Chain A
């Protein structure tokens, strides 16, 4: 596909995504009945959050080292969505959640997310600005700065969602030493492989971005999950059709489409 074709295809997918998003958000039936693909990692994480709150432990959300503006910031922003829901669950517990990131802008946004979540539940006494902090500016310094948070701050459950490299293994190792659950997901392939080996449960591919929406099933969140599923099928159909087209073309010498 030439650059012009790529731009056209990208724009078409974007328009399709916006259309489906609004169609599903306006669909009244979606408010009544919602069926989603079950993601075992997220179900296990929800159970683990409940246990941590019961035991008076903290939930730690690690947002990775991506920053704003950047191509890899979407996973961290998705993690912020999950942080908001976790803060709302935690307002029932003794200890507020802790968020760490490797970038100043994401750290500021995590503070804002925590502050707003607590104020919307009249639990402003739980807000501590140090609970949304930057622990290092390079990927390795970030990972090493986060290890004491997991080890010393009574963390019972960890959610690792963001842009990571292989250094994510250090976070998983620290969580294992504390017998704390860790659910990991990243937009980077090396981190996904490392998390599969080291984390208790893993989010693969688009599941990483669905964590926030699965935890907070608002109207737009559920619509975005349904749109994501529809677009996945659209892409699968396009790929299968283009493979058939290539096979037919190579066998007959004439393009099928």
Chain B
């Protein structure tokens, strides 16, 4: 296995941060803090590079021979107007923040509203995509827990035997979610170890 200088640095930094987590010695913790703060700075610069790349792609899009995108000039214009006003007033300016959030929040809220319709349509199409026990388990549990979560059953008093059953049933999604999260944690751990030992090296192939 050919190991580059970048890989040696990445693996060494990863090992120091990991050992600092397991054995929190003051020296290791200090070095880990340095590494993490450098990573934050690099990530900030990477975001800037990503934005420049995004603008570059949209600058070329209206002039392509096929699939011309005429929304790209709108995006570029919005970007530069926001950038210039943001640099002039600074992002901490209250009126600038107010204008930006007054556009962004309603747009994202509308998108969430559209999402609910998209999901409703997807549930109808689900009958074509999936068959069998999993489909019915999913649908029945979705309907059941929508009813439980909606608060429609508040008329069931605390003393009713039904309330105990509802309490038991509410544990089921919690148990399922924990099961999935344990799986996610295991997967994250193994991905981290593959990176740490240089098996996966997205920084140098």
Which of chain A's residues has its CB closest to B176's CB? Answer: A189
**In the bound complex, CA of A109 to CA of B45 (Å):** 13
A123 at the interface (CB under 8 A from B): no
Nearest Cβ on chain A to B202's Cβ, whole angstroms: 4
Q: Quick one: CB contact mask for A49-81 with B, threshold 8 Å, 1 for yes?
A: 000000000000000000111000011011011
Which of chain B's residues has its CB closest to A129's CB? Answer: B53
A81 contacts B194, C-beta separation under 8 Å? yes
B200 contacts A212, C-beta separation under 8 Å? yes
Q: Quick one: CB contact mask for A7-24 with B, threshold 8 Å, 1 for yes?
A: 000010110011001000
A104 contacts B180, C-beta separation under 8 Å? no
With an 8 Å Cβ cutoff, the count of chain A residues facing the other chain is 78
Q: Quick one: CB contact mask for A31-61 with B, threshold 8 Å, 1 for yes?
A: 0000000000000000000000000000000
A133 contacts B57, C-beta separation under 8 Å? yes
A152 contacts B67, C-beta separation under 8 Å? yes
Contacts of A148 in B (CB 8 A): 69
B183 contacts A103, C-beta separation under 8 Å? no
With an 8 Å Cβ cutoff, the count of chain B residues facing the other chain is 58
**A residues 162-217 touching B (CB-CB < 8 Å):** 166-167, 169-170, 172-173, 176, 187, 189, 192, 194, 196-198, 200, 204-210, 212-213
A158 at the interface (CB under 8 A from B): no
**In the bound complex, CA of A21 to CA of B186 (Å):** 13
A104 contacts B50, C-beta separation under 8 Å? yes
Q: Which 4 A-B pairs have the closest CB atoms?
A: A116-B205, A205-B183, A209-B187, A104-B50
A135 at the interface (CB under 8 A from B): yes
B140 at the interface (CB under 8 A from A): no
B188 contacts A75, C-beta separation under 8 Å? yes
- A80 with B202, Cβ < 8 A, contacts A74-B192, A169-B118 known: yes
Interface of A is mostly: helix
Contacts of B197 in A (CB 8 A): 21, 220
A104 contacts B46, C-beta separation under 8 Å? yes
Which of chain A's residues has its CB closest to B130's CB? Answer: A196
Contacts of B47 in A (CB 8 A): 67, 103-105, 134, 137
Q: Quick one: CB contact mask for B25-40 with A, threshold 8 Å, 1 for yes?
A: 0000000000010011
B51 at the interface (CB under 8 A from A): yes
Q: Quick one: CB contact mask for A96-139 with B, threshold 8 Å, 1 for yes?
A: 00000001110111101101110110000000011001111110
Contacts of B205 in A (CB 8 A): 84, 112-113, 115-117, 119-120
B180 contacts A231, C-beta separation under 8 Å? no
Q: Quick one: CB contact mask for A142-154 with B, threshold 8 Å, 1 for yes?
A: 0011001000110
Contacts of B69 in A (CB 8 A): 148, 152
Chosen A-B contacts, 8 in total, with CB atoms closer than 8 Å, are A17-B193, A77-B195, A81-B194, A81-B200, A140-B108, A170-B118, A206-B183, A224-B190
Task: Show the binding face of A for B, using Cβ within 8 Å.
Answer: 11, 13-14, 17-18, 21, 67-69, 74-75, 77-78, 80-81, 84, 103-105, 107-110, 112-113, 115-117, 119-120, 129-130, 133-138, 140, 144-145, 148, 152-153, 166-167, 169-170, 172-173, 176, 187, 189, 192, 194, 196-198, 200, 204-210, 212-213, 218, 220-221, 224-225, 227-228, 231-232, 235
Which of chain B's residues has its CB closest to A197's CB? Answer: B122
**In the bound complex, CA of A47 to CA of B3 (Å):** 33
A194 contacts B119, C-beta separation under 8 Å? yes
Q: Quick one: CB contact mask for B50-83 with A, threshold 8 Å, 1 for yes?
A: 1101101100000000010100000000000000
Nearest Cβ on chain B to A216's Cβ, whole angstroms: 9
